[in-house]
Amino acid sequence: MSLTCAGDSAEWTVNRFSSYGYLTHCATWGSMTGPTCYINGQSFIDGVYWCETATGLFSNAVNITGTYNDAIVDFPVHPVTEGQPVTLRCKWTTELNLAVISFYKNDKLIQNDTRGEFFIPAVSKSDEGFYKCGRKGRMQWSAGSTSPASWMSIKDVQSAATLSVSPDRAQHFITDTMSLSLTCAGDSAEWTVNRFSSSGYLTRCATWGSMTGPTCYINGQSSIDGVYWCETATGLFSNAVNISGTYNNAIVDFPVHPVTEGQPVTLRCKWTTELNLAVISFYKNDKLIQNDTRGEFFIPAVSKSDEGFYKCGRKGRMQRSAGSTSPASWMSIKGDLLTDVIVILMVLSPPGGEPFYNTLINPTLFNLINLMIRGYIFLFFNLFCCF
C-alpha cells in the first residue's frame, strides 16, 4: 500500500495517529521515497494518515483500517462528487466464481446477485451511508464472510464549509470588552463551533460563548487560545483556524486565513493605547523588516516567500517581558490556482497470509480524526507562536 502527497511543497512527510494514540512518521512503519510512503507487510495499519511539511502545511486526513475478514468493500477513500459515477466492489482473499454477493447500505439489502459490484451512475447526497458486502445468507461478522462497514461520503463542489472570524485576525487583546464572533457558512442549517484548547480540552461554543444561528459569540474571555472549527452532526467540517489572546500591549494584525498569491496585504501593529509618532518595528522570522512611525507593513503582491512568522513592537523594546511586543503569528500564503494538497491512496491486495486491508471514513470516527489533526495543528502553532 502506498500513500502519496501532492501539493505546493517539495518536502512532504506522511504521519500516522494510530488507534492506540501514538503519533509517528512514515519512517517508523514504512519507507518514504520522495512524496510517497510505502507500507509493506504490516500486521497493524489502523490509524489516521495525513501529509505534512515542516512549515505546517497539512493535507486532508484519511482513516485506514486492516481486517482479517475474508472480504472488503472497495470504493474511493475520498468523498465522491455529486453527479459522478461510482462503483463499489466486493473483494475477497480467494476468488468466488458465480457466488451470490450481497451489498448492504445502512444494514439494508440493496443488491443480491453474482456481479460482485454495485454501480451508481450519478451519486447524490442520498447515496451517502455505511456500505458492506458479503456472501448471501452469511452476513454474520463472526463468520468472516462479510466486509466491515465503510462510510461513503458525497460532496458538493458548490457547498464547501467555511469558518469566518470577526475581527478577521489570529491575535486578540484579552479585555473585559473583548468581542469576537465566529460564523459558519455551508450546506447545513445546524452548525456548532468547536474549540480544541491549548490545555487539550474539546468543548463547544455553549461552554465559553453563545451560539445564535450559525454564529458563535465570545465576550470577555480570560482564555481564548485554541483551534476553532465548524461542525455538523452529520460529520461536515469547515476549515480550522488558530486564535490566541494576549495580555501584551500589542498585537500584529493580518487575515487569519491564508492570503492568495498576487493579492495585497497590510500587516498592522495594534496597541491597547494610542502611540502617536512612535517608531514601530516589524519583524519576520525574528529579522527586522521595517522600522518607522507608520505602524503598518504593506506587501503589494504576496508570494510564497512572504510566508513566515511576523511580530511587531516599539523600537528598541522587543523584550516580551516588557509587554511592548506582540506575539509572533504565522502568515500563510496559498496559490492563486487550485493548489490544495491531496492524499492519493492506492490500496493493494497483500500477499497470502497477510492482513486484508480496508479503508473507512465514518462520521463518528471522523469527528475524532479531525479533533486529532486540529489538535496537532494547534500544538504546531503553540510551539512557534511566541518568541
Domain ranges of the chain: 81-147, 162-334
pLDDT mean over 70-85: 86
Give percent of the chain with pLDDT exceeding 90. 21
Band (253; pLDDT cuts 50, 70, 90): very high
Cell of 213: 444561528
Please tell me what DSSP assigns to residue 291.
E
Strand order in the sheet with 287-292: 287-292, 280-284, 308-314, 329-331
Residue 10 binned pLDDT confidence (cut-offs 50, 70, 90)? low
Mean pLDDT of the chain: 77
Question: Do residues 83 and 72 make contact, with C-beta atoms less than 8 angstroms apart?
Answer: no
- Cis omega before residue 167 (within 30°)? yes
Q: Sign of dihedral through CA atoms 15, 8, 360, 190?
A: positive
Assess whether pLDDT exceeds 60 at residue 375: no
Q: What's the pLDDT score for residue 378?
A: 41
Domain spanning 81-147, CATH architecture: Sandwich (2.60)
Residue 11, pLDDT > 70, answer yes
Query: Is a pLDDT exceeding 80 seen at residue 247?
Result: yes
Q: For a pLDDT cut of 70, what percent of the chain falls above it?
A: 75
Tens digits of per-residue pLDDT, 363-374?
333 444 444 444
| pLDDT tens digits along 145-189 | 888 888 888 876 555 678 888 888 888 888 766 788 999 987 666
Superfamily of domain 162-334: Immunoglobulins (2.60.40.10)
Q: How confident is the model at residue 285 (pLDDT cuts 50, 70, 90)?
A: very high
Task: Judge whether residue 385 has pLDDT over 50.
Answer: no
Q: What pLDDT score was predicted for residue 225?
A: 85
